[in-house]
Structure formats: C-alpha cells, structure tokens
Structure 1
C-alpha cells in the first residue's frame, strides 16, 4: 500500500512533479524492503546450531507476502485510510515478530520509517518513527549488546526519514501554491477576455449611438426645421400640403432615431435620468453586497448628452465593482456634479486601497477601461489611492460647446 501517500498528503492530478518524486521514492522503498528481506532470510536460514530458524523464515515470508499483497491491492483498488492502517499494523506486527528472532531484521526499520510517515501523517508518523527507532535500538542491543553503532544507526535513519518527509511536504506545498497561482491567472485571463468583449460591445454601441446622433438625427432635425420655416414663409403655397407631410415624416423618423439612440445606451439609463441610473447602480450593489453601504449625492441642473451619461454610468459600475471586489469596503459614496463646462463623477470607498504606482495585473484592466472611455470623450480620469486608506476615482467629462452656451 505504499503506492499512495498519506491521507493528509493526497495530491491533485495536476501535481505531476510531486507525483514523479513520490513514484521514485516508492521504487527505492520497495527495492530497499526486498533487499533487507533477502538479508534477513539468509540470516534466519540457519541458527547457531546449523538448523534453519523456521519461525523466523515464516515471519519473513509472511512479511513479504503481506507487503506485496497490500501494495498490489492499493494500486488496483485505492483503499481507504482504515484499510491502510490495518495493513501497516500487520506489517509492523510481522516485523516485530521477526526482529525478536533475527537481529538483521532490525535494519528493516529504515523503510518502515517512510511507511509510517506516509500513512500516518506528520505528527502521528513522527511519533511512530520514534517508537520504531527505539524498538530497533533495543532489539540490536538485546541480540548483540548495546553499541554506539547499534544506537546511532536507527536514530540517524529516523532523522533522515523525517527530513525527507518534510522535504516532500514542502515540495507539495509549493506545488499547491503554484497550482493556485495558475488557477488565479486562468481566472484573471477569462475575466479579462470577458471584460474585453464587454468593452468592445459597449464601445461599438456608444460609437453607433454617437454616429447616429451626429449624422442621421441632426440631419432629420435640420430637415424638419427647414420644412417648418418654408411652411411658415408661405402658408398659401400650392405645395404646402406636401411640405407639411414631409415635415411630419421627418419628425416621425427623428423620433424613431432618438429611440434607437436611447436603446444603445446602458441598461441602467433606460427610462431614467443619469441621477436615477446612478441610484439604480448603487441599489444593485447594495442588493448583492448587503454589508456595503452605498450612497449617491449630487444633482445635475440638466440632463447631459446621452454619450456622457452612458460613460458616466459605465465608470460608476466599474468603480463600484473594483471597490467591492478588490477593496472590501464598508462604505462607498458616489457624487455627481456639473460645472460650467463639465460634469464630474467621484466614487470614494474606505476599502483597503492599493499603490497606484505598483505593477498591476487583472485589477488594472478595469481602470484602463474607464480611462479609455473617458478619454474618448475628451475627459480625464484620476485615481487617488493609498494602501489601507481607501480609493477615490474621479472622472471629469467636458460638456459639448452647445451645452455650455
């Protein structure tokens, strides 16, 4: 049953390096057991009178059969902890019976050290190793008299076994740590890919909304104004009815175009103002994270252009998501304000913060995405953070010239 490590050292399939080390250790262990059993059988074959020591031979053969049977069974069935402990108990009992009769059997204690460590775990295995070493020292002393070699040999072997077992556990711990890092990197890559797709979709939607607003919607509005001016200039003109009809058609198409632009805006903006959308975003965060207090303050005297409102909502969503995921805050505050030529959105949390100058991986993608959105509209994004003192994200978006007049 030495083909598997102890229960507290069960390894995941991904730990190929650790499994390779254990496989090599098992081969060495089996070889050592076989060699020492052969030595014991040769020593037990004849006693001092020249006759075979049949009880010792029987114990050695029994030990070999139990050892091989347990190893083969483990490879095929992968037995549980109780079966492994029962097998280890049988092996140790046969060894005890053998070492009483043949002093050379005491050397079998060296592979038994590893069996005990692998099958019993750290503390129980260490205690078993100490007990086995004591039995080996006593057995050698009773057979051949107590000598320095008879005492130092088993003790040094026990220390070597403990050191090797500690090395294997350290290797396993490092493998586990690397496995967790790889899992985190895979998750981060998946998240980055998902955000990249989302950013791409939202960027394209915002671009389409802006293009439609600047071309089709503006053109239809101009056509309507021109037709209305022509209608007022000569109400009695014979073509007044077609002009009126054209103006109505242009107005209907302008209405539909504006609906299309609204459909391209972020979902929280559907049917509400920018302030209402920010309240929706805050409410969603409160619902998903009840322990986080989220507040929204500030009002705008007039609704900003759709593209500014859309970017403001996206910045708010990303800043809140980053704060909750990476900062573990208890309070988050959002403030929206408008000045003569710009609107400003500020998101402040009391989380753990971070060093803005330090290298960042997955977390920086959200900040880069916000900065890119804001920069596309000619604005600026500032991030003020310090480890242990929270984070403040401030987006300043310029208002169009016609809005500031």
Structure 2
C-alpha cells in the first residue's frame, strides 16, 4: 500500500472515530435521558450499518445513499433537540454530506446543517456559539475537499500504473514478436544459403543423371562422377543441417580456402550437368563478420550461375580497400534479369545488416562491406 493510500485510510478511519467519540460524549452527557440514549443508540446502528455496507465494497446507488443520509440527518436533528450535546456531530455530518452529494447541493445542505447548529448553540453560548461551529464547519469542508483531491491524485497515479503495466506488456509482446520474426528471417536465410541451394543442386544433378540413364550410360564415368557429386552435395547439406540445428559455428577456415571450396563445388556441379565451368578466384582474407557475409555473397552468386546463367567462365574477387571490402562475382552467361528472388532479397538484407550494400548489374553481383575487427 502506498503512503497516499495509507493517508486516505487514516482519514476515513478518523472520521468514524470522530463520530464514535462525539456520540459517546453526547450519550454520557445525556445519561438519565432515556429518549436521548435510545436515539443515540439508533443513530449508532444506522451509521454503522451504512458504513459497514460501504466498506464491504458494495456500491451505493443514489437512492440508497440519499436515504441513508436523510435518516442519519433526521436522527441528528432530533437528537440535538432532545440533548444539545449531540449537536457537535455536525462536523462529521458535514463531511458525510459533502461525500454523498454533488458539490452544489452538498454546500447548500452543509450551510443548512450549520444554520441549525447555530440555532442550538447561539442562544446559550453567545458569540462563541456562533464562531465555533462556523470555524468547525469550514475546517470540516477543508478536510473533505483535501481528502477528495488526495484521493483523485491517488486514482490518477493508480491509473498511470495500470497504463504503464499494459504498455510494458504490449512492448514485451511486440519485442517477442519482433524477436520471433527476426529469428525466422535468419533461419530462412541460413536454410536458403546452405541447405536449399544444395538440395536445388541435387535436383539438377538428379535430372542430369536421369538423362544419362535414358541414354543407356553412353558415358558411365560421367554418370559415376554425377552420382559422386550428388553424394558430396548431400553430405555437405547434412553437415550444414546439423550445424544449424546445433547452433554451432565451429572454427572457421580462412576466407580464401572457403571460397576455393565453393568454386570447386560449382565447377563439379556444372560439369556434372554437362557444361564445363571455369571459376577463377582472387580472394584476400577478411576478419569476421565481413568474411562470413562475403562467403554468403560468393555462395549465392555461384549458385545462381550454376542454376540459371549457363556460363562457361566465372570470376570471383574479394579485395580490401581501406576499411572496406569489395566482393564481385562475374560470369559470361545470361546475367540476372527480372525480379529478384528470395535468395537475392535475403542476401541484400544480410549485407545491409552488416552495414554494406549489394548491387546487381547484369552479369555482376557486387557488394561492399565495412571491415570491423571483432
């Protein structure tokens, strides 16, 4: 419970304690007056019933609230007429009136309560009987409106807490969704750049082997070479799948060795498809993560050459230029036309995430990458 709520609870309890004390004082002063004692006991029962009803969390309807107030006020008037010592219950009654009624009617009824009090206290106490109740009524009103302002502020901050918690939950859900989307995108690129490309090559090689079988194995050595390439590609894909599932990268070879292996694999696949391909490589080593992105660019470029270009010669160049690396994959085939597929779109996103830029112009796939030492 906050300090503000503690203060509000203390003020509510203080009001009930004030009623009990003033009622007790009135009943002690009216001892021997059976009517006053009976009225005091009835007042206590009515006030207690309404208070308990309210504290149980049951909302007051306007009719119930006004009926309770009317009965309480009527009992007070009769009590004050029977025994003037009960008149000082006016102060908590003014607070009750202000609590249950709107501001305008509450002030009017409070003035009426004060006027009745003055008619009881004024004739016997003179100036003191007029000034005391007036100051007491003003203080009661001041206490109530201070209480209401404090309560409004507490409700305001309570709503702020609720809104903040809701905003935090929405933010957490959005961050979770963004994380899931980012991970899905990353996995999609990983699968495309490795397993999907390998499976595509296996399909192409399988078709080539079918043609060779249809030709009744005029060249068994070529068919065996195609089958060997299929097995090698499948083994590489299996290793990549295990690596992705395990989330492991392991020790990485220098970039030139990785590119040479990609170039050799592209030549084997193209040769198995019946069209010789020569891939020339000129690669300098790069630090990670630039080396990893450069490898992806080369992998995508060579994969597209094997699947679509119909080229006989390709050149892969990776070089440093100050704090930037350049990657170029060129071929003498048909070039890239039409809309970019998933592979190029994913590669463009990967290069952009690394702070670089990817360009596609005809037969050239090129990228510039910042070199950041880990």
Q: Normalising TM by the smaller chain, what interval?
A: 0.5 to 0.7
Alignment root-mean-square deviation, CA: 4.3
TM-score normalised by L of structure 2: 0.55
Match of 1:68 in 2: 48
Instruction: Report the CA distance shift for 1:200/1:126 in structure 2 as closer, same or farther (over 3 A).
Output: farther
- The yes-or-no answer on 1:56 pairing with 2:36 is yes
- The yes-or-no answer on 1:92 pairing with 2:66 is no
Q: Distance in 2 between matches of 1:17 and 1:308?
A: 61
Match of 1:378 in 2: 352
Q: Distance in 2 between matches of 1:170 and 1:126?
A: 22
Match of 2:358 in 1: 398
Alpha-carbon offset, residue 200 of structure 1: 1.8
1:309-320 matched pairs, under 5 angstroms: 309=345
Instruction: Report the CA distance shift for 1:62/1:124 in structure 2 as closer, same or farther (over 3 A).
Output: same
Q: Distance in 2 between matches of 1:176 and 1:126?
A: 29
TM-score normalised by L of structure 1: 0.51
Alpha-carbon offset, residue 159 of structure 1: 1.8
- The yes-or-no answer on 1:156 pairing with 2:156 is no
1:2-401 matched pairs, under 5 angstroms: 20-45=6-31, 52-75=32-55, 78=58, 80-81=60-61, 82-120=63-101, 125-147=106-128, 148-218=131-201, 221=204, 223=205, 238-239=218-219, 243=223, 302-309=338-345, 374=349, 376-378=350-352, 398-399=358-359
Instruction: Report the CA distance shift for 1:17/1:155 in structure 2 as closer, same or farther (over 3 A).
Output: closer
Instruction: Report the CA distance shift for 1:157/1:220 in structure 2 as closer, same or farther (over 3 A).
Output: same
Gaps of 5+ in 2: 238-335, 366-374
Cα distance per residue 1:136-174 (max 9 Å; x no partner)? 344432453343333222222222222222222222222
Q: Distance in 2 between matches of 1:197 and 1:153?
A: 65
Instruction: Report the CA distance shift for 1:127/1:188 in structure 2 as closer, same or farther (over 3 A).
Output: farther
Match of 2:372 in 1: none
Alpha-carbon offset, residue 121 of structure 1: 5.5
Is the 2:39–2:79 contact (alpha carbons within 8 Å) kept by the matching residues of 1?
yes
Cα distance per residue 1:324-381 (max 9 Å; x no partner)? xxxxxxxxxxxxxxxxxx8xxxxxxxxxxxxxxxxxxxxxxxxxxxxxxx4x333689
Matched position secondary structure for 2:352: coil
Match of 1:292 in 2: none
Match of 2:254 in 1: none
Is the 1:59–1:98 contact (alpha carbons within 8 Å) kept by the matching residues of 2?
yes
Is the 2:43–2:75 contact (alpha carbons within 8 Å) kept by the matching residues of 1?
yes
Matched position secondary structure for 1:304: coil
Match of 2:271 in 1: none
Instruction: Report the CA distance shift for 1:185/1:240 in structure 2 as closer, same or farther (over 3 A).
Output: same
Is the 2:98–2:107 contact (alpha carbons within 8 Å) kept by the matching residues of 1?
yes
Gaps of 5+ in 1: 1-14, 46-51, 258-299, 312-341, 343-373, 382-395
Is the 1:18–1:171 contact (alpha carbons within 8 Å) kept by the matching residues of 2?
yes
Alignment length (residue pairs): 257
Alpha-carbon offset, residue 38 of structure 1: 0.9
Instruction: Report the CA distance shift for 1:74/1:152 in structure 2 as closer, same or farther (over 3 A).
Output: closer
Q: Distance in 1 between matches of 2:118 and 2:74?
A: 17
Cα distance per residue 1:51-104 (max 9 Å; x no partner)? x44433332222111112223344558254232332222111111222234333
